[in-house]
Structure 1
Amino acid sequence: MIVIHGGHFSSLGGFYEEASSVLMKDVDWKVGTLDGFDDILYGGFGIFENKEEIEIIWKESQKSKEDLGFNATCEFYENKIRQGKPFNTELIQQKLDDLTEGKGQTLFEILVEIIESHRNIALKLE
C-alpha cells in the first residue's frame, strides 16, 4: 500500500515531490512531468516491481482536487503556451479552450486517469 497525502502539497510541483518521495525511495531520480509520473507507475525501479499489484491511497484527495483544479490547470497550460517550443502550443491552447468551456480535464483528473490506466494499480481516493 502506497499513500499519497494531499495535505503534503498544494501544487503540481508539490505533487511530483510527494510522488517521488513515496514511489521512488532510495532512487536518485525525481518525477517532474506527467509523462514521468506515468513512467514510474510501470514499476521496475523505485519501490515496486513491474506489473506488481499495488494499491495507492490518495488521502485528502478532495483538497488535491481543489488544489489541482481549474485554476492550477489554466496556469499549467498558460505557462506551456508562454514557453512555446518544444510544446505543441496549438494542442495546448485547444486543451485550455476545452477546459474553459467545461469539457477539459483538470490536472487532478489527468493524474487520476494516469493512475487508473495502470491495471495493476488500485486507486482509493480518501
Structure 2
Amino acid sequence: MELSTSNKNNRKVTVINGGHFSNLEGFYDEVSSVLMKDTDWKAGTLDGFDDILYGGFGVFEDGEEIEMIWKESQKSKKDLGFGPTRDFYESRIRQGEPFNIKLIQQKLDELISGKGQTLFEILVEIIESHKNITLILD
C-alpha cells in the first residue's frame, strides 16, 4: 500500500491513491489512513473530510503547507462520477431525517440536468477550498 507523507521544499507531501478505492466509503478509508494515521478518528462524511483538511490532529498541522497528490484520479473521477453521485443523493432522500431532503433533491435535479457536481468534483472543491493545500491530480 502506498501511503506516504514526506517533505518537499518545506511542504509536506501526501498521496491519495485512487487505485485503493472505488467508492465514497473507500475514499474515506483511504484519506483516513493517509491523513489520520496514528489516530482513532476517521472521515465518514463530506463535512468530516473537510474538517480533517484543516489539520492539527492528523499528519499535518493547522495551516501547514501540503501538497496532495491524487494518484489514479481519472479512475476516481469515474468511480465517483454521475451514477455513484445519483445513487448517493437517492439513498439520502430514501433515508430522510436527518438529511435536508429538499436540498438533496435540488442537488439531484441539478446533477441530472447537467448543472450539478459529481462526488469527485465536490471532493476536489473541498480540497481546493483549503488554501494551504496544493492538489495535484495524477
* Band of TM-score, shorter chain: over 0.9
- Aligned partner of 1:111 in structure 2 is 123
1:78 paired with 2:110, answer no
Structure 1, unmatched stretches of 5+, are: none
Residue 49 of structure 1 deviates from its aligned partner by 0.2
Count, aligned residues: 126
- Aligned partner of 2:110 in structure 1 is 98
1:123 paired with 2:135, answer yes
Aligned counterpart in structure 2 of residue 17 of structure 1, from 29, 42, 47:
29
Please give the TM-score of this superposition, normalised by the length of structure 2. Answer: 0.91
Residue 15 of structure 1 deviates from its aligned partner by 0.1
Q: How does 1:49-60 map to 2 (within 5 A)?
A: 49-60=61-72
Structure 2, unmatched stretches of 5+, are: 1-12
Identity, in percent, stands at 76
Bigger helix fraction: 1
- SS of 2:91's equivalent in the other structure is helix
Residue 88 of structure 1 deviates from its aligned partner by 0.6
- SS of 2:102's equivalent in the other structure is helix
Q: Deviations over 1:36-86 (max 9, x none)?
A: 000000000010000000000000000000000000000000000000011
Structure 1: 4+ residue segments shifted above 6 A: none
- SS of 1:87's equivalent in the other structure is coil
